[in-house]
A and B are shown apart, each in its own frame.
Chain A
């Protein structure tokens, strides 16, 4: 593909999603388009069935008085009917607004109001309850369509409508208005907004990112071309529908390439469903890969000694040669090692890939956060082609990808076809790409702040290109700070290094404008709990375990390892962690401490635990604190704890001159 502006525009400006759907229904009507597991059975719908369902849903929306250009909220787990609703909304020239299904009612209120939602299509009673709770504050919501009727029999609110009823009305409407759907689809323009995805709101209120049919289709076409996806591919869609990653992967790319999307039975059964489906293309944030690996390691530690030894031997072989074989550099691998790897594949890697549901994977991607070296190597060494990509909601995740065979741990790959990247003087990465947003919804101020007058999107990430032309991202540009002595302080870089230890779940680093770097740590209850059990350390829960001296010693070892790593880097040696504490409570999105995409909200945490931060920067050896917590049912309670504060050893910098500064 060419890099000049006009050719990029031509990529996606010829069609819309409803037209792509009609195309698949024509070209491959009997091929499976989507599956869902229900009552233990995988149900399948062909492209022509999907097109028919979408037509009926669109008819149903028309009976609700839905008008071109208006919005519909979509809230729930990944269900075929919710994806179809997206297509139906777009067929009528509307804008689909998927919301995070685990958001609490108050968080939804803002988005509903901002997007001027009048109709919401939701999965089940849980979502209906949240919306009904908001009705007094948001009376504009005039229709709530629910998919799963369970528990809904005694609801009498006039806004409620069962999905089946919507479809029934839609079919009746289509009979009375033949040609309605086709005429509406024909009116759609590629530069209409197709979907509005709300940014997670690490800073300020969430903003609605308006993506057009053209930009999403251009991005999806680029992706599909890059890795050669086609109708034979299978994906499992299990990430939140409101997240741009899932939107691209389960909707845009699926409609462009015509591959099959599989919806899991429930969020708890994803691992089982993954294994049953065996997708060929897989996308997950590092956290998911990490959880899977933690599970494997915990299970291995409980295995018989002989199995453990076999596993360790195989993994050592894999670590040495697996990635080379995967990258097609077989000439670098000796004959003996090739035989060993073959044996390992027969006994361990193959069965392990099968258990993980990754036997058929051709391409797996991760992105959105840094991935730990051990984690990344593990998957690649057992023969899973895991690669990294870079992008954001505003660029339809279409900026950089690692080409197969050119995978590096600490970069996010090369610019994709049609993407231009420049590094601003501030170190910020700026992008011009076919997948760029149209605007932030009704926020010209925010749009102007994010797009330069000459049309470059400001990512807000700090990074640079390495010698091979790969982009390397170090931190958010605004988060990169300095200690009082002028040493560079990249908090996320330090936090990520900490989080790569299986025992550490979250970390928050402080240091900007201060004399030294200090950190809060959250232990991983599963991993540390198992570690404690095997050592006969009794504990009653998170708060108790977190304060055990043995656990604190364990965390201290991790911190000191990170300090040694930092000491090796001339720019960061001065930002080693001097003091730390293990938090008495797990950071939680319900308490506002994490975003819905589970990124730590550093400023909020610094305010909320101000007492502890102050103690870190004093001589105190412990500090008492009271914390408000929100339980799952919405009640609030108070947690009291006396948190010990620990000094960590600092490694000598190998770069003496810089340390002296």
Chain B
């Protein structure tokens, strides 16, 4: 057994990702205004806020899908004015999507193998032939993927086409594909949207286990307040593209601006 303590707070490390003064606008619409926050290594960091607050835009800036007009992103000590998706992936940032983005006709196993794409080293032609060094490499990739299948307990659907699986299991497969890339930072966009209570509990368990077993840093967007307050170390609150709160779940819960944003203010 390792020397990790019971209290997860103690293993949290230095800043892994820092977002500084990000502003993003689509034409005249300001999606994000001057947002800054940081994410520490091994932490579970939640981004919450009402609909249209800019949560998904924020994730899209972090992994380079959107290019903010202002501000910078520092990941692992390297500062970027704008990230691009390929570099983000190579640097170890993986994500899942609000709407499931899997290959519906492919099996669970094949979908998850696509998550290993960036780790494939042998030339394309060799990959197609499955000979020599590629054979060894592919076996190694398969072993890694099988570990994740075991971890997420989806052995029984390994060879089932994803389109035939229930929604909750598809969400789990998507998490599996992101994990297959062995990310250091995992961005989860509403991992529990549309799930029933039992599926939510399972997903919570998996997110905590990923964080615990693999030491993966996690940034997640979630609407279910109970979930967010239970599993996050720190929470950022956005409203109309501005940061209105940042801190531990307890601090955020007591923050007047946050209460106003969620419950409305008497005018």
Contact = CB atoms under 8 A, between A and B. Distances in A.
A268 interface: yes
Contact of B155 (A151, A156, A162, A269): A269
A632 B196 CA distance: 14
A39 B212 contact: no
A265 B156 CA distance: 9
B147 A154 contact: no
B212 A153 contact: yes
B214 to A, nearest CB: 12
Contacts of A266: 153, 155-156
Nearest to A151: B209
Interface in A240-278: 265-266, 268-269, 272
Contacts of A39: 143, 146-147, 149-150
Interface stretch (B1-9, B61-69, B230-238): B1-9
A425 interface: no
B201 interface: yes
A628 B77 CA distance: 57
A268 B156 contact: yes
Interface string A276-298: 00000000000000000000000
A384 B255 CA distance: 69
User: Which of B1, B142, B143, B201 has its CB near the most chain A CB atoms (within 10 A)?
Assistant: B1
Contacts, number: 42
Given A151-B209, A153-B1, A266-B153, A40 B6 contact: no
A152 B213 CA distance: 10
A21 B212 CA distance: 41
Interface residues of A, number: 19
A156 B1 CA distance: 9
A445 interface: no
Contacts of A151: 209, 212-213
Contacts of A269: 155-156
Contacts of B150: 38-39
Given A39-B150, A154-B6, A632-B198, A268 B1 contact: no
A272 B160 CA distance: 11
Contact of A153 (B4, B146, B201): B4
Contact of B4 (A154, A162, A272): A154
B4 A40 contact: no
B158 interface: yes
A268 B212 contact: no
Nearest to A268: B156
Given A151-B209, A156-B6, A266-B156, A162 B1 contact: yes
Given A39-B146, A39-B150, A40-B146, A154 B212 contact: yes
Contacts of B142: 40
A466 interface: no
A272 B212 contact: no
Contacts of B158: 40
Q: Which 10 A-B pairs have the closest CB atoms?
A: A268-B156, A39-B146, A40-B146, A269-B156, A265-B155, A269-B155, A266-B155, A154-B6, A39-B150, A153-B2
6 contacts: A40-B142, A40-B149, A153-B4, A266-B156, A268-B155, A272-B159
Given A266-B153, A272-B156, A633-B201, 10 more contacts: A38-B150, A39-B147, A40-B155, A151-B209, A153-B1, A153-B212, A153-B213, A156-B6, A265-B155, A269-B155
